[in-house]
Amino acid sequence: MLIKLAILLTPEPRVTNRFIVNCEFRAVLISKIHKIILLTAICCCSAEAGSLDNTIWQQIGQQKGVSPYLLYAIALKESRITIAHHQVTPYPWTVRTRTGGHYYSSFTQAKTALNRAILTNKLVYIDVGIMQINLHYNRHRVKKPIDLLKPATSIAIAADILSESLARYPNNPALGVGHYNSSDRSKAIAYGNDVLRIANNLKKLKF
């Protein structure tokens, strides 16, 4: 799913190489783009315009009892890359450390980088995958850290975290959503409001 950058509330990350990810998560380097064609929602081979129907976002959202639009909005906040003028998408092979976000062209490259990061960084500084799961707080949720580079695993764990957070703050959706990213109340509310706004815009967007 290619999303217009205008819906986002923060600047897009800068990446040297731009990639578009198909439903099998093979990265194809884009050298020239004459026309952007809607290919897929991430992890799905088809998607209707303005909808996450029949995607892994919807599947996991239904299983976990959370909105797929919230999940996708968080993914855009956490791991998006720009693949064309005003077009962005969440990206699965993303590893963030103290030096910032790093976007890799394959699972193998991201795996190597993650293993290196674990050796040289405290886990609290490492976020992994399409949903940028923090290893310090969530290492216990997976058998191996590299599992978080697998989109389905990352999205499922993110849904668990989000569900737990929303249940903790049932009367404050912004705080509940924002607690996914920060335990600081003011930062969480600001983050949550951004995500809620993006999710609402996604529902209206014809992409």
Total number of domains in the chain: 1
Q: Are 87 and 15 in contact (CB under 8 A)?
A: no
pLDDT at 74 (0 to 100):
98
Cα distance between residue 149 and residue 170, in whole Å: 30
For Cα atoms 76, 78, 83, give the angle at the middle one, nearest 5 degrees. Answer: 50
The strand pair at 80-84 and 94-97 is best described as unpaired
Distance CA 19, CA 3 (A): 14
CB 19 within 8 A of CB 79: no
Residue 23 CB neighbours (<10 A)? 16
* pTM, two decimal places: 0.78
Query: Closest by alpha carbon to 90, among 102, 73, 70?
Result: 73
Q: What is the per-residue pLDDT across 70-125, written as a single tens digit (0 to 9) for each? A: 999 999 999 999 987 778 899 999 999 999 999 999 999 999 999 999 999 889 89
Q: Which pLDDT belongs to residue 205?
A: 76
pLDDT of 126 over the 70 cut: yes
The Cα 169–Cα 139 span in angstroms is 23
In 66-144, beta strands by DSSP E: 80-84, 87-90, 94-97, 100-103, 127-128, 133-134
pLDDT tens digit string along 34-82? 222 222 233 332 334 457 888 999 999 999 999 999 999 999 999 999 9
147-199 pLDDT, tens per residue? 999 999 999 999 999 999 999 999 999 999 999 999 999 999 999 999 999 99
5 vs 200: which has the higher pLDDT = 200
pLDDT for residue 38: 27
pLDDT band at 1 (very low <50, low <70, confident <90, very high): low
Range of the domain at 87: 3-204
The Cα 145–Cα 100 span in angstroms is 18
CATH (domain of 8)? 1.10.530
Whether residue 207 has pLDDT greater than 70: no
Question: How far is the C-alpha of 102 from the C-alpha of 128, rounded, in Å?
Answer: 10
* SS3 assignment, position 104: coil
Q: What is the pLDDT of residue 20?
A: 35
